Structure 1
Amino acid sequence: MTSVTSLFAPVESDLDLMTQNLKGLVGAQHPILSAAAEHLFGAGGKRVRPAIVLLLSKATLPGQEITPKHRRLAEITEMIHTASLVHDDVVDEASVRRGVPTVHSSFGNRIAVLAGDFLFAQASWYLANLDNLRVVKLLSQVIMNLAEGEIQQGLNRFDTSLSIDAYLDKSYFKTASLMANSAKAAGVLSDMSETVIEQLYDYGRHLGLAFQVVDDILDFTSSDEVLGKPACSDLKSGNLTAPVLYAMAEHPFLTTLIEREFSEADDFNQAINLVHQSSGIARSRELAATHARLAASCLEHLPPSAARQALQDLTSYVLRRIS
């Protein structure tokens, strides 16, 4: 199976340079931030979001070097993503991510919250220094969307009336908005036509939704070791994802288990079994496949290149994670 790392071959050296720059940018201020930066950016993340920005830079400016503004946009994108993960882990009380202790479990909640705040603030500073108001607006919207998604998720815990559309809205806020708006910003920096810029936004939006649905499937089909966190943790915390929402339509008793918040012995195990006995996972696969196909169709306006092919292959890779 093709790894996500090999997909990024056209920008592999650029991603390595970005990682080193991020450790320096974040860690230069204070020893604790330096340790947190080493911890965050050395944790073996896939770096999908900045890779998309760098690949789009190459795909929209064929034959040219990646510009300093595109490189900075990729760094800002990874800063925003990482800041959101740090805060999410505090809210979710997660002790590990990607198999590595979370920032708050290593440094305490206070430092984790401040580190996340610092990353958001620093991303905003570098964003302003791009001197492109449209790009500033796009990425500022992402920061608002991330907070909105986290608030929605908190308010909707154990809410069995949640619809698939509401789930996709929250998934857009929490995952797809950053991919969509950073992709659009890359098109803006490349001075693409409005048609192409909107296509890049749609590419990121559909790819982001596909990634989120696939992650929500893996929560039921992978082990703790593969996930790097406890399996079925979303369901346990009352975060109802696509497999659960589809399963509830087939098994009314699952709704009962969720509404009483797994308060009785074996409720949680029964709930997991009902999800597996339903067509919820299969229907979620179809949902992810639909968005992956839509993402692939959004690249047609770009000229053929290795970078465009990598972006195309990424839409297939997301589905191979659950094949």
Structure 2
Amino acid sequence: MTSVTSLFSPVEADLHQLTENLKRLVGARHPILFAAAEHLFGAGGKRLRPAIVLLFSRATSADHEITASHRRLAEITEMIHTASLVHDDVVDESELRRGVPTVHASFGNRVAVLAGDFLFAQSSWYLANLDNLEVVKLLSQVIMDLAEGEIQQGLNRFDAGLSIEAYLEKSYYKTASLIANSCKAAGVLSEVPEAMAMNLYNYGRHLGLAFQIVDDLLDFTSSADTLGKPAGSDLSSGNLTAPVLYAMQEKPVLEGLIEREFAQEGDLDQAIALVLESKGVERSRELATHHAQLAIQQLEGLPPSPSLNVLKSLKDYVLSRSY
């Protein structure tokens, strides 16, 4: 598998600058926020979302140079993503993320909720200061979508009647919306034609769905040490993902285990075994591949560049990653 560091080489310096800027922007006001910022932005994240924004910025701008507005868009994208993770970890009571303690585990729920709120508020402030109404609308929609996705996930816990379509809709809200809308926003800042801006949106939408489906696969196929969180944690919390939904079509007994919320000893282990015995993982991988291929089709029409080559290579990275 290609390492994410070597993959993003055309924007490696840009990403380093972004990380330092984020620590400064978020941590400037208060010591506890500085500590949280160091924790959040120094935790070894993949920086996938801002990297894609920077790659599209280089791929679509004159002379492939990144403007200050493009850089700020990438920072806003990572702020929104990180804020959503901080709040998700509070809601899910997660102790670990990327193998390190979560903000609420390190600083307590109160600080975690306030840190997430602060990141959302700060991202909104910097977004407004881009002075581009279309970009403001695109990224504001993302913040609404993230909340909608979290609400849908909460309402659909242990719902054995959940459809693949509803799962994909929730996955769009929680993961793909940010990637799709920030990709389009990069194009808007580069003043590309509307048709190309929509291609950028659709690239982000399909790549984001592929990324989330693979993420959900890893909950069953990767170890807790590799994931940085307990394996099977989605299923145990009642979050039914593609492998489970496909497995239920083959293994009706799985539905009963889910409906009684794994109340009896051994229920969860049996459920995980049933998923792994079924074609759920295989069919989910096929679904992820389908969306990744649709993403690549959206890149036709962009001029050749090193950044475009990376955007094409992201398909293989997303499908082959192990954490």
* Superposition TM-score, scaled by structure 2 size: 0.99
Are 1:137 and 2:137 an aligned pair? Answer: yes
Are 1:210 and 2:210 an aligned pair? Answer: yes
CA distance in 2 between partners of 1:185 and 1:41 (Å): 23
Q: Give the letter for the 1:230 counterpart.
A: P
Give matches, 1:157-176, under 5 Å.
Answer: 157-176=157-176
Q: Give the letter for the 1:47 counterpart.
A: R
> Cα deviations across residues 78-116 of structure 1 (Å, max 9, x unaligned)?
000000000000000000000010000000000000000
Once the 2 structures are TM-superposed, how far is the Cα of residue 63 of structure 1 from its aligned partner? 2.2
Give matches, 1:94-243, under 5 Å.
Answer: 94-243=94-243
Seq. identity, % = 74
CA distance in 2 between partners of 1:282 and 1:158 (Å): 22
Match of 1:275 in 2: 275
CA distance in 1 between partners of 2:187 and 2:64 (Å): 14
Once the 2 structures are TM-superposed, how far is the Cα of residue 6 of structure 1 from its aligned partner? 1.1
Once the 2 structures are TM-superposed, how far is the Cα of residue 282 of structure 1 from its aligned partner? 0.2
| RMSD across aligned positions (CA) | 0.9
CA distance in 2 between partners of 1:60 and 1:299 (Å): 11
Match of 2:18 in 1: 18
Q: Give the letter for the 1:263 counterpart.
A: A
> Is contact 1:219-1:231 (8 Å) kept?
yes
Match of 2:86 in 1: 86
> Is contact 1:62-1:305 (8 Å) kept?
no
> Is contact 1:57-1:66 (8 Å) kept?
yes
> Is contact 1:4-1:314 (8 Å) kept?
no
Q: Give the letter for the 2:85 counterpart.
A: L
Q: Give the letter for the 1:274 counterpart.
A: L
CA distance in 2 between partners of 1:136 and 1:29 (Å): 24
CA distance in 1 between partners of 2:158 and 2:242 (Å): 14
CA distance in 2 between partners of 1:321 and 1:24 (Å): 31
CA distance in 1 between partners of 2:2 and 2:316 (Å): 10
> Cα deviations across residues 176-213 of structure 1 (Å, max 9, x unaligned)?
00000000000000000011000000000000000000
Q: Give the letter for the 1:211 counterpart.
A: F
Q: Give the letter for the 2:182 counterpart.
A: S
Once the 2 structures are TM-superposed, how far is the Cα of residue 64 of structure 1 from its aligned partner? 3.7
Q: Give the letter for the 1:269 counterpart.
A: D
Change in 2 beyond 3 A, CA 1:131/1:62: closer
> Is contact 1:90-1:109 (8 Å) kept?
yes
Match of 1:31 in 2: 31
Once the 2 structures are TM-superposed, how far is the Cα of residue 4 of structure 1 from its aligned partner? 1.5
Once the 2 structures are TM-superposed, how far is the Cα of residue 62 of structure 1 from its aligned partner? 5.1
CA distance in 2 between partners of 1:282 and 1:216 (Å): 12
Once the 2 structures are TM-superposed, how far is the Cα of residue 257 of structure 1 from its aligned partner? 0.3
* Superposition TM-score, scaled by structure 1 size: 0.99
CA distance in 1 between partners of 2:6 and 2:64 (Å): 22
CA distance in 2 between partners of 1:62 and 1:159 (Å): 49
> Cα deviations across residues 214-238 of structure 1 (Å, max 9, x unaligned)?
0000110000011010001000000
CA distance in 2 between partners of 1:320 and 1:5 (Å): 15
Question: What SS is found at the alignment partner of 1:309?
Answer: helix
CA distance in 2 between partners of 1:264 and 1:82 (Å): 36
> Is contact 1:86-1:113 (8 Å) kept?
yes
Runs of 5+ consecutive residues of structure 1 not aligned to the other structure: none
Once the 2 structures are TM-superposed, how far is the Cα of residue 140 of structure 1 from its aligned partner? 0.3
> Is contact 1:86-1:112 (8 Å) kept?
yes
> Is contact 1:11-1:54 (8 Å) kept?
yes
Runs of 5+ consecutive residues of structure 2 not aligned to the other structure: none
| Aligned residue-pair number | 323
